[in-house]
Every structure is written in C-alpha cells, then in structure tokens.
Structure 1
Amino acid sequence: MMEIQNNESRRLLDGEEETSVRSEQDEYLDKVKNGKLYLATFAAVLGPLSFGFVLGYSSPAIPELSTITDPRLQLDKEEASWFGSIVTIGAAIGGLLGGWMVDKIGRKLSLMFCSIPYIFGFTIIIAAQNVWMLYLGRVLTGLASGVTSLVVPLYISEMAHERVRGAMGSCVQLMVVTGIMGVYIAGLSLDWRWLAICCSIPPTLMMVFMCFMPETPRFLLSQGKRREAEEALQFLRGPDAPAEWECARIEDASDDQGGSFGMADLKDPGVYKPLGVGIMLMLFQQLTGINAIMFYAETIFEKAHFKNSNVATVVVAATQVVFTAVAALVMDRAGRKLLLILSGVFMCLSTAAFGVYFKLSSETHGNSSGLSLVESPLAQNPAADLSWLALSSMGFFITGFSLGWGPIPWLVMSEIFPTRVKGFASSVCVLTNWGSAFVITKTFQNLMDLLTSAGTFWLFSGCCALNIVFTIIFVPETKGKTLEQIQARFKGTPEQLSYNRPT
C-alpha cells in the first residue's frame, strides 16, 4: 500500500513539473515572432520546388521525345521507361551523399551545394545531343533531389518550434507538388528544352537566398558554437524571445544524447525504434504506387481513354496542391497519426475502384491487359463508358495521398531522430524511399503486363491497407511536442526531462 502511495505521489509530482514546464514553454512561445522563420523556410523550400520540377518533367517530356524527328534523341518504349525512372537512382545516391553532408558541412551549406547538380543537370538536358546526355542530366537532377529530400525537412524541423513545425514541415511536400503542377502547366505550351530552362530557375534562386539564412541552432550546438546558435535562434524567434533559454534547453538535451554516432548506437531503443518507423514509413509511401502513377500520369489517362490526357494530369496536380495545402493548415491541429490513417483509407478505396474501372474496361474492349492505346468507340463517346470512375478514383487517390502519406513521412523523419544520428538515419530512410521508388517505377509497366492494369491497382490497394495497420500500431503522434520530447518517448524516459528550466 505504501509503495502504491509513493508511486502515485511521484506521478503527481511529475505531472505538476510537466505542467509547469509546458506553461513556461508557452510563455516563451508567446513572445516568438515567426516572420524570419517563414522567410528561412521559403528559401529552403525552393529546393523541394526544384525537386517537383524534376519529378514532373518526364510526364510532358516523354511523349514529345518519343515522337521527335531527331533519331539521336528519340526515345523508344524502353528508353522512355529509363528516362522516367533513372532519376530515382540519382536520388538514392543523393540520399547517401546528403546524409554525409549534413553531418560534415551542416544543413545550410548542404542546401546551397545541392543547387549545383540541379543547374548542371538541366543544362545538360538543354544541350542534349543524344539519349545518354538526357540520362546524365536526369541522374544529376535526381542526385540533387535526393540531397534536397533529406536536407530540407531536417533544416526546417530544426529551425521551427512545435507550434508551427507541422505546417512548416508540410510546406516541403506542398512545394514538391507545386513544382509538379508548374511543369505540367508549362509543358502544355513549352517544348522540352524550354521546359528544362524554366526548371533551372528555382535552384538558382535557392542558392542565392540561402546565403542570407542561418545555420540551424541544433547543428551549431553540436559543433560547440554556442554564441552562433544563440544568434541563429534570435534571428528565427525575433528580438523579444529569450533565445538563450531555448538554446540552453537544446544544449542540455544534446548533452544527454551523447557525442557522435557509432554502430553500437543501433542497440539503443532511442535509435533503432525511430529508425524502424522511418524506414517503414518511406517504404509504405512508395508502395502506394504514387511515383509510378505520377511519372506516367499522362500515359495512364491515355489508357483510360481520355483524349486530353495532358490536361487531365494538370487537374490531378492542381488537386494535389490544394489538398497538400489543406494538410499543412490542419497538421498541427489534427495530428500526424489521424491524417495518415485517413489518407490510407482514401488511397485503399480509390486504388481498388481504379482497378474495378480497368477490369470493366478491359472486359468491354475484349482486351485482358487493358493497355490498348488503339482508338475505341468508348473514346469517341466518353459518356457511354466508365471514364468518370477513372477520373474520380484518381482524384480521391491524389486527395488522400496529399492529406497524409505525401507530406507526413518526410515530416516525421525529420522529427524522430536524435541529432547525433540524423545524418545516418535520414540517409537510410531516403535510400529506402528512392530505392523502392526506382523499383516500383521501373517495373510499373511490367506489373501492368503481368497482373493487368486492374491487378496492379488492386496490389497497390492492398499495400495501402497494410500501411493503415502499420500506422495504428507503430507510428507515434508528434503533434505539439518538441524534438527532445519525441526522442525521449522512444527512449522510454520522462518527456519533461528533455527540458532545461529557464533561469
């Protein structure tokens, strides 16, 4: 009985201490001005905008390059498949390179340097005289995309405080889909060379703007640069916030985490648990089939008998932008876990419906694969078939992905790792993401041939059902928590110990 009373007393004391710490944190955050934080975030997300241009470029470029009169540049079916998917190989390499760069030279310089392969890659595409130059340009822009996909979420999460971190982190995916939509729209009127010229503008601007932005306080503290860290925090939080208090809190938490990363750290639950969650989030994101669908969006609509397939892909991209913006607005209120579950449900049902469409369509045409591009009576009279089902299914899929499984895996990846392992752990997650993206994108046509269009989308539907189960069981809620609190949860230590009381 005495032991129960003592335990209860400890719980009450812990609760009182946590409430006190939270109120002190709220008092601090009430003094914060976010203007310069938003400015730094804008400079950083020019990288994901460039990343979106890279992802979307293949959709308008492949049809043109497949019919171009110059035989040196004309892409056949296999070459077009490589042109769309080879970017993911560069991105996987970029993920490994980015993991090394963020630890060695910091988040800011990594962002500035990744502008270089973006610019060189698009320049090579602009000047391309043969297919191999096109491939090289795609690999280089993919390399930059891999670095960007790792560094930008880390940069933003380490700058932002918990009240706006979800919204700021969601801006990464918002700018990616904005870039995809932008390149689709530009592709309606520009040829593939002028399109590449337009794509080289955002990375150039990013290199310039990042010159005036600070390094993240957490990286500066990990390098023993306390004064520079306080200056960075003062820049990001405004003149009224006592930045030295937040700096001390981060510093104490960093001291508790230890020094540099070693392989023995993989035995630490504060490392292997978030690493497992991060890897599975990235794997499940790709198993939804999103990159395969976006890379070949125009072709998919052609196979679904939409005459204006290029306009349809613009509508899809616009839907993605709108609902990713919605996700950014509600992220810090609804929470990450709820949005992931809702997103998974939307995608599971919509891909199943898309499979039904292709099944019924193939039976109507007497074509078991559903892949014939030959003009059919249904294409002449869309109202007579089920084209509305294809369009609505694609719309619901993009809506669901944009609300959860688009932005949240990258956001959670940037939140859950201790500072000393962020480079290594993030690079593993990015390698998983882009490696699986390459496999799925490259084999998408083979899946369509082997399983039929209907079977392929039903396979994606089953994967979406699995990611719902995974989210419910394993993914933690990070809404409203500091990075130190999130990491303490994985270690199984009291969250309030992550704080350092202001003096």
Structure 2
Amino acid sequence: MDIQSERSRLLDADADADADADNALTGLLSEQDAYLSKVRNKKLYLATVASVLGPMSFGFVLGYSSPAIPELSVSADPRLRLDPVQGSWFGSVVTVGAAVGGLLGGWMVDRIGRKLSLMFCSLPFVFGFTVIIAAQNRWMLYVGRALTGLASGVTSLVVPLYISEMAHERVRGTLGSCVQLMVVIGIMGAYLGGLFLDWRWLAICCSISPTLLLVCMCFMPETPRFLLSKGRRQEAKEALQFLRGPDAPVEWECRQIENACDQQGSSFQMSDLKDPGVYKPLLIGITLMLFQQMSGINAIMFYAETIFEEAHFKGSDLASVIVGVIQVVFTAVAAVIMDKAGRKVLLIISGVAMALSTTAFGVYFYLITEMQSGRVLSVMLEPRSTAGGELAWLALTSMAVFIAGFALGWGPIPWLVMSEIFPVKVRGFASAVCVLTNWGMAFVVTKTFQDMMGALTSAGTFWLFASMCTLSIVFTMIFLPETKGKTLEQIEATFRGTSGP
C-alpha cells in the first residue's frame, strides 16, 4: 500500500508540474498576445523600407553584369573589351569582394552596431559604381566590381540582422523576405535598364539607391537587441517605442530580451562553439547557404543572357527581363505567405520546383545536342537554326519554373533563417561565417560555370544542379526546425533545449 501511495503521489506531482508548465506557457502567450495587440507597425515598416535600399543596391550589382558583359565584349575601345575569360572575371569578382565584405560585416555589426554598419556599406557601393563609370581600362572595371561586391557582402549580412532584430514575430517572416524581394527588384531594374542604357549610364542609375540608403538610415534607430547587449537600456526602450508605436508597453519586451541576454553571458568566446545552442544553428546556417548556391542560381542569374543565347532563344536580353519579372512576382508571393505557410514548407516546395526545372533544362540541352549531331531521326532534315527554335519553349519554361521556385523558398529563406537562429552574442561571428560560405561558393560556381558546361556538357551541368536541389529537400525535411511564429529568444531556447523566456 505504501508503494502504491507513493507512486500515486509522484504521478500527482508530475501532473501538477506539467499543469504549472502549461499554465506558465499559456500565461506567457497571453501576455505576448496582449502586448502585440497594442503594437503599431507603421514606423517598423518605415525602418524596413529604408534598410532594404541596401539589398536593392545589391540586386543592381548582381544584375549589372548580365547586360554589361555582352556590350563590353564588343566594345570599340580595346582597353575595355572583354573576352570570355575576362567577362567571367567581371561577373565573378563581385563574389570575391562579397566574401571579404561578409567577414568585414561580421566584425562591424558587433563593434559599431547594425545601423552604422548599414550606413557604411553605402560608401563602397557609390565608390565602386563611380570607378566603373570612369573606367579607362579593364582593371578599373574589376576594381569597381570588387568594391560593389564588398558592399554587397556587408549588406547581405547586416540587413537581415537589422530587420529580424527590429521586427516582432508576427511580421518578421514577411519583413525578412523583403530583403530578397528588393534584391530581385534590383536585378530586374538592371535588366530593364540594360535594354535602354549603355553600361556607363546604367552604372550611374545603379548608384542612386545606395545614396538614398545613406540619407534615409540617418533617421532610423539602432536595433533594441544590440543596444541591450551593450547595456544601453534607455536607448533600447526609445528604439522599441519608435518601432512599436506610442501605445505599446515596451518595458515587457525589453525584459524578455534582457532575460535572454543574461542567459547567454557577455561576449562570444571560441569555447562557445561547444554549446549546442551555438554549433547546431551554425551548422544549419552554413548548410543552407551551401545548398542555395549549389542550386546554380548565381550562375544562372549572372549569365542569364548567355544561357539563352546558348539555348538559341531569340531576344535573350528580353528573356532575361521576363525572368526578372517572374522572380519579383514570386518573391513577393513568398513575402506575403511566409508567416502563414512557414519556412520548411516553402523550402520543400521550392526545392522540388528547382529540381524538376533543372532536370528539364538538362533534357533540353541534351535534345539540342542530339538534334545538332543528327542523331534524332525526326529532325535530321531540319535546318540546324530551327532545331533550337522548336524547343525554345522548354528552355523558357524551365528557367521560369526554376526562378519561381527559387523565389518562393531558397531565395529569401536562408537569409531569413540566418537572421533568426543565432544567439545575440554570436550573431556577428556566425552570420559572417554563413555569408563567407555563401559568397565563397557563389564565386566557385560562377567562375567555374563555363568550365563545367565544357567538361560536363550543358546537360550534365544542369543535372548536377538538379541533384543538389534534391539533396536540399532531404536536408530541409530532416534537420531544419520551424521558426514561424516564435520570438528570437524562443528560437534560441529551442537549440539550447530549454524553455524560452
């Protein structure tokens, strides 16, 4: 009887403990809901609009090479004329600068803050485009591209952090997706500008958005989480009041952030890499960046016009604009549904679409090769010029599906997840590692893309990209946690294996 009574008592105690935990969670959620009901997002949206001028500038840099390389390859000035190897360097040197910029940005955000880092990155954007505008030889073109790449690397790290640390959980996914949306708007703007402007005037237009970024950010606040991590509590409260509106009781959110900062300690040490709350999200962030680039997206975007010319698609410059429009539309769709559908679902859908489309693109190139070598009996009597034309719809459809799929998931979400999963004290270091991984792999893919097309054939190259997209689906399903609807502090607690603040 004593044993039975003791067992009953322990079971009752466990039930009471579970009930207390449930009540505490319910109480926290009700407090959170009550707080968010008083939040007004007007100035949060304003700060987001100002900051995403950086990604728009970044998009202009990425898109600039597509119309500029064909024009420079036939330049009347032999000092500026680019052969295929020099053109590949013109396209890919941006990624070298961006990799350095990622490291620089990781150092800057922890030293001078998110806001000042963002203002600083506007300077190499403007200087880089100025050097391109004034270019008298190929080396000036390379230096200008490297400077704009440096700024792009800083931007790709700082802006997602700035937005995620400003936004609350109900809109963080949507606002975080605006980073990629503005990148693709910039890319499309460069494509459209390339239809009407020569490469110098296009560079002038590309320098407008970073100039506006510098001016607008002067009036925006630093992020509350950075200010609290530096012990500047009053400034953090003022920043929160600016971002949440006059009616929000920001003291509650301020305490939640402070509690998370207290649990983490003061500053990052290399020994912290043994902490599962650090190394688990770091491995996930690195892997996401690897898969994003190994899908082949930057190779496809840098050489969009060249790919369509290789595919015998007439009006390749216009085709690139169409691709840009598709990317903008589907990135906007992703931004709208991000906080409803969740990150994992969109990544899986995105991976499936990219795997199918790159497989189809490989099939297209394989069929064209067979037609041109005379192995397909049904087209042996066709002129070679029309062989590609009959299948041009497959090239355009495959490209459109790939861009749409990428824009829905693997475009915006790796950057969004990177900005969500790291603890405050390691956010600069871990984000720098992820950005360096991303741009380092982007350089490898873009610089070797033409070599891969030669060694593996066009079909084999796209089938390689398809296999990487398939692996990304498996990774997402098994290893990636869902961050939808969670505060940054709750996400950190998930990796630590504890309850959130």
Give ranges in structure 1 of 5+ residues lacking alignment: 369-375, 499-503
Query: Which of these residues, 177, 183, 191, is aligned with residue 184 of structure 1?
Result: 191
Query: Which of these residues, 458, 462, 475, is aligned with residue 463 of structure 2?
Result: 458
Give CA deviations for 1:193-224 in whole Å, capped at 9, x if unaligned.
Answer: 00000000000000000000000000000111
Aligned to 1:210: 217
| Equivalent-residue separation in structure 2 for 1:412 and 1:8 (angstroms) | 36
- Asked if residue 333 in structure 1 is aligned to residue 344 in structure 2, the reply is no
| Equivalent-residue separation in structure 2 for 1:4 and 1:419 (angstroms) | 39
Q: How does 1:94-109 map to 2 (within 5 A)?
A: 94-109=101-116
Aligned to 1:371: none
| Equivalent-residue separation in structure 2 for 1:199 and 1:473 (angstroms) | 41
Aligned to 1:70: 77
Query: Which of these residues, 6, 15, 33, is aligned with residue 26 of structure 1?
Result: 33
Q: Are the counterparts in 2 of residues 306 and 379 from structure 1 also a CA contact under 8 Å?
A: no
Aligned to 1:491: 496
| Equivalent-residue separation in structure 2 for 1:93 and 1:382 (angstroms) | 41
Shift of 1:8: 3.4
Deviates more, 1:11-20 or 1:324-333: 11-20
Query: Which of these residues, 356, 360, 363, is aligned with residue 363 of structure 2?
Result: 356
**AA partner of residue 153 (structure 1):** P
Q: Are the counterparts in 2 of residues 45 and 175 from structure 1 also a CA contact under 8 Å?
A: yes
Structure with the greater alpha carbon radius of gyration:
2
Query: Which of these residues, 280, 284, 303, is aligned with residue 296 of structure 1?
Result: 303
| Equivalent-residue separation in structure 1 for 2:198 and 2:386 (angstroms) | 28
Give CA deviations for 1:437-487 in whole Å, capped at 9, x if unaligned.
Answer: 000100000100000000000000000000000001111100000000000
Shift of 1:4: 4.4
Q: Are the counterparts in 1 of residues 101 and 151 from structure 2 also a CA contact under 8 Å?
A: yes
| Equivalent-residue separation in structure 2 for 1:225 and 1:160 (angstroms) | 19
**AA partner of residue 398 (structure 1):** I
Give the secondary structure class of the aligned counterpart of 2:82. Answer: coil
- Asked if residue 430 in structure 1 is aligned to residue 454 in structure 2, the reply is no
Q: How does 1:242-261 map to 2 (within 5 A)?
A: 242-261=249-268
Give the secondary structure class of the aligned counterpart of 1:405. Answer: coil
Give the secondary structure class of the aligned counterpart of 2:154. Answer: helix
Q: How does 1:38-437 map to 2 (within 5 A)?
A: 38-366=45-373, 377=383, 379-380=385-386, 385-437=390-442
| Equivalent-residue separation in structure 2 for 1:221 and 1:262 (angstroms) | 19
| Equivalent-residue separation in structure 2 for 1:344 and 1:233 (angstroms) | 37
Give CA deviations for 1:173-201 in whole Å, capped at 9, x if unaligned.
Answer: 00000000000000001000000000000
| Equivalent-residue separation in structure 2 for 1:186 and 1:275 (angstroms) | 38
Identity %: 72
Aligned to 1:468: 473
| Equivalent-residue separation in structure 2 for 1:147 and 1:7 (angstroms) | 50
Give the secondary structure class of the aligned counterpart of 1:67. Answer: coil
| Equivalent-residue separation in structure 2 for 1:30 and 1:288 (angstroms) | 41
Give the secondary structure class of the aligned counterpart of 2:146. Answer: helix
Shift of 1:23: 1.1
Task: Describe the shift of the 1:191–1:248 C-alpha distance in structure 2 as closer, same or farther (beyond 3 A).
Answer: same
| Equivalent-residue separation in structure 2 for 1:146 and 1:379 (angstroms) | 42
**AA partner of residue 151 (structure 1):** V
Q: Are the counterparts in 1 of residues 352 and 469 from structure 2 also a CA contact under 8 Å?
A: yes
Give CA deviations for 1:6-39 in whole Å, capped at 9, x if unaligned.
Answer: 3333222212211111111011001011000000
Q: Are the counterparts in 2 of residues 183 and 195 from structure 1 also a CA contact under 8 Å?
A: yes
Q: Are the counterparts in 1 of residues 95 and 440 from structure 2 also a CA contact under 8 Å?
A: yes
What RMSD in Å do the two structures reach over aligned CA positions? 1.2
Give the secondary structure class of the aligned counterpart of 1:477. Answer: coil
**AA partner of residue 103 (structure 1):** D
| Equivalent-residue separation in structure 1 for 2:210 and 2:383 (angstroms) | 46
> Could you list the runs of 4 or more consecutive aligned residues of structure 1 that deviate by over 6 angstroms after TM superposition?
none
Give the secondary structure class of the aligned counterpart of 1:478. Answer: coil
| Equivalent-residue separation in structure 2 for 1:304 and 1:378 (angstroms) | 13
TM-score by length of 1: 0.96
Q: Are the counterparts in 1 of residues 293 and 438 from structure 2 also a CA contact under 8 Å?
A: yes
TM-score by length of 2: 0.96
Give ranges in structure 2 of 5+ residues lacking alignment: 1-6, 376-381
Shift of 1:307: 1.4
